[in-house]
């Protein structure tokens, strides 16, 4: 009897422990960079902070192409499926760090964006600050100096994360999000959905979790994003469905179950309604 093939989930990367901190730092440079950076789609259990100093990079992040041109910064959240498509004459730095190493205020900036972040171009002064910060981290990782090495390193990680968060927060402040009650409610709702879409798909349940009436929650979310509460719940489910169809070998029935649907035929109908394609055809478009 032939052995059944083991199901493959989306590749998942974790940080290797260095001393007492979970951190990965890499300087991006050199002619052989493309061979080592470009890899298959995967997700990580840590944040990635990218500081590109020159060159052009093309990445795929959750089915969206992101182009980094010249000096810029970008971040990737834990759980997002991503990979490099190409790089051209790139130099810069990549920092992978445990979520617990990042101040909660900075994490909130990264995690509660209303839309996918766009690469940001820091000023020349901030570019220099980041470069010195990354160089100092590399030196500490390569040449531990004192018993306070990990403490100093954690502060440097926090400095870098704070600079990144400050730049990305500036766009929100220009929209006065911090003073906009509907936008704050929308942030909170989107954050809840990202953590609970597999178990909870009822708009009323999210209103209850936020101690709000459903009409008010809908008013806030639709006024801020142009789409109702139910739309964002479905979008969260569909994004994870696309991830699993494209990058895992789980059957459609298994994927439906993982997403909280006991009836896989209902899941298939919902996928067709939202994506205008069957789950099987979507998978085939990625695997040929």
The pLDDT of 86-99, averaged and rounded, is 90
Query: Model pTM?
Result: 0.73
- Contact indicator for 181, 217 with CB cutoff of 8 Å: no
**Chosen domain end from 174, 208, 236:** 174
CATH number at residue 26: 2.60.120.280
Same domain membership, residue 213 and residue 152:
no
Per-residue CA distances from 7 to 10, 165, 274 (Å): 10, 38, 26
- 48 SS3 class: strand
Taking the C-alpha atoms of residue 29 and residue 127, their distance in angstroms, rounded to an integer, is 16
Write out pLDDT tens, residues 194-249: 889 989 999 999 999 999 999 999 999 998 888 899 999 999 999 999 999 988 88
Q: Is 68 left (phi over 0), alpha (psi -120 to 50) or beta?
A: beta
**Chosen domain end from 130, 156, 174:** 174
Determine the structural domain holding residue 206 and report its residue range. 180-287
Taking the C-alpha atoms of residue 128 and residue 105, their distance in angstroms, rounded to an integer, is 24
Taking the C-alpha atoms of residue 217 and residue 186, their distance in angstroms, rounded to an integer, is 8
Nearest CA among 50, 70, 60, 61 for reference residue 164: 50
**Chosen domain end from 156, 174, 192:** 174
Same domain membership, residue 273 and residue 137:
no
Whether the predicted pLDDT of 3 surpasses 60: no
Write out pLDDT tens, residues 17-61: 544 567 889 888 866 665 556 678 888 888 999 999 999 999 999
Residue 5 lies in a domain: no
Helix (H), strand (E), coil (C) string for 73-131: EEEECCCCCEEEEEEEEEEEEEEEECHHHCCHHHHHHHHCCCCCCCCECCCHHHHHHHH
Same domain membership, residue 188 and residue 167:
no
Q: How many residues does the chain have?
A: 288
């Amino acid at each position: 009897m032939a052995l059944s093939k083991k199901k493959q989930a989306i590749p998942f990367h974790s940080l290797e422990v260095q001393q007492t901190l979970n951190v990965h730092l890499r300087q991006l440079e050199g002619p052989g960079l493309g061979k080592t950076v470009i890899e298959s789609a995967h997700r990580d259990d840590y944040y990635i902070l990218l500081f590109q100093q020159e060159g052009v990079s093309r990445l795929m992040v959750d089915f969206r192409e992101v182009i980094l041109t010249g000096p810029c910064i970008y971040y990737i959240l834990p759980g997002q499926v991503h990979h490099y498509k190409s790089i051209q004459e790139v130099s810069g730095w990549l920092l992978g760090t445990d979520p617990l190493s990042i101040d909660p205020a900075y994490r909130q900036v990264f995690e509660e964006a209303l839309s996918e972040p766009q690469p940001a171009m820091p000023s020349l002064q901030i570019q220099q600050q980041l470069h010195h910060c990354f160089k100092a981290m590399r030196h500490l990782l390569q040449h531990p100096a004192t018993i306070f090495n990990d403490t100093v390193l954690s502060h440097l990680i926090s400095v870098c994360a704070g600079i990144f968060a400050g730049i990305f927060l500036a766009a929100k402040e220009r929209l006065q999000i911090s003073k906009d009650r509907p936008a704050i409610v929308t942030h909170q709702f989107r954050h809840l959905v990202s953590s609970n879409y597999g178990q909870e798909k009822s708009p009323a349940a999210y209103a209850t979790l936020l101690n709000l009436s459903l009409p008010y929650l809908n008013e806030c979310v639709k006024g801020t994003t142009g789409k109702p509460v139910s739309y964002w719940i479905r979008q969260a489910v569909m994004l994870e469905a696309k991830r699993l169809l494209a990058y895992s070998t789980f059957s459609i029935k298994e994927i439906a179950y993982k997403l909280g649907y006991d009836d896989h035929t209902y899941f298939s109908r919902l996928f067709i309604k939202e994506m205008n394609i069957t789950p099987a055809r979507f998978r085939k478009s990625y695997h040929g």
